[in-house]
Amino acid sequence: MATYVLIPGAASAPGYWHLLEDELRARGQDVVAVDLPCEDDSAGLAEYAQAAVDAIGDRRDLIVVAHSLGGFTATLLCERVPVDLLVLLQAMIPKPGEAPGEWWANTGYEQARREQDERDGREPGDAVDLFYNDTPPEVVAEAAKYERGQSGTPMEKPWPLPALPDVPTRFLLTRDDLFFPAEFMRRVVRERLGIVPDEMPGDHMPMLGHPKELADRLEAYRAEL
């Protein structure tokens, strides 16, 4: 039995993972959805990583799945506990010395988003469309209860490692994400990981819109270990 360690993105309670948790448990796996101190102004990336370590406890056979901003936390976690596989799910990929708040400019995100909005003929600022354009409306309505505030503290200090962790890593890209456009993410993955991402349908929140397919993908990765 593997343990899937699910690291949320910004301003997110662990409840965002509940549909994926159900799918993975139905397949006989253990799941830990990490509760990050995202509203605590005293907590930075080190505290986020420690929260994950504490949630894991003495579990082993770990597959870490990181979403969005969670990429900064998960890569630190891999230096603190033995990890069999890191799966970056539409996640931000750090580089040494880069603070999360600098990632946007360093990757050319704003220009990529403007170009995507122009291609789509979409007005910027529609949060529901931006994050949930491929999630059923009833699931979107329920997701509101998992929203949290997000402190700016973890955005300020540089990611502290000299290199990305030496852990088997896969990047799973969702093709229909309007927040992190696919063309932009393919480039970032190529530049920062040197790999071609795997792709699946879905918006920025595939754990809600496509939990079964996401579980199938993760289990396929596990079978290859």
Which tens digits make up the pLDDT trace of 164-210?
999 999 999 999 999 999 999 999 999 999 999 999 999 999 999 99
pLDDT at 10: 97
Assign residue 54 the CATH number of its domain.
3.40.50.1820
User: Exposure string (b/e) for 61-100, b if CB count within 10 Å is 16 or more?
Assistant: bbbbbbbbbbbbbbbbbbeebebbbbbbbbbbbbbeebbb
Q: State the pLDDT at residue 99.
A: 98
User: What's the rounded Cα separation, in Å, for the pair 219 and 172?
Assistant: 13
pLDDT recorded at residue 124: 66
In whole angstroms, what is the distance from residue 187 CA to residue 165 CA? 20
What tokens were used for 197? 């991402």
Residue (of 203, 202, 146) closest to 11 by Cα position? 146
Q: How many domains does the chain have?
A: 1
Mean pLDDT across the stretch 82-89? 98
**Residues of the chain by 3-state class (helix, strand, coil), percent to 5:** 45, 15, 40
pLDDT tens readout for residues 86-142: 999 999 999 999 999 999 999 999 999 988 888 888 776 666 788 999 999 999 999
What pLDDT, on a 0 to 100 scale, did the predictor assign at position 199? 98
Structural domain range at position 119: 3-223
The amino acid sitting at 103 is: W
- Amino acid 188: pLDDT: 98
Specify the 3-state DSSP secondary structure of 173.
strand
DSSP 3-state assignment of 92?
coil
Residues in the chain: 225
- Tokens read off for 95: 């580089």
CA–CA distances in Å: residue 69 to residues 4, 61, 151, 219, 223: 18, 24, 13, 23, 27
Amino acid, single-letter form, for residue 65:
V
Question: Which pLDDT score, from 0 to 100, does residue 119 have?
Answer: 84
d(CA 179, CA 143): 17
Predicted pLDDT at 26: 98
pLDDT tens by residue, 30-78: 999 999 999 999 999 999 999 999 999 999 999 999 999 999 999 999 9
* Predicted pLDDT of residue 126: 65
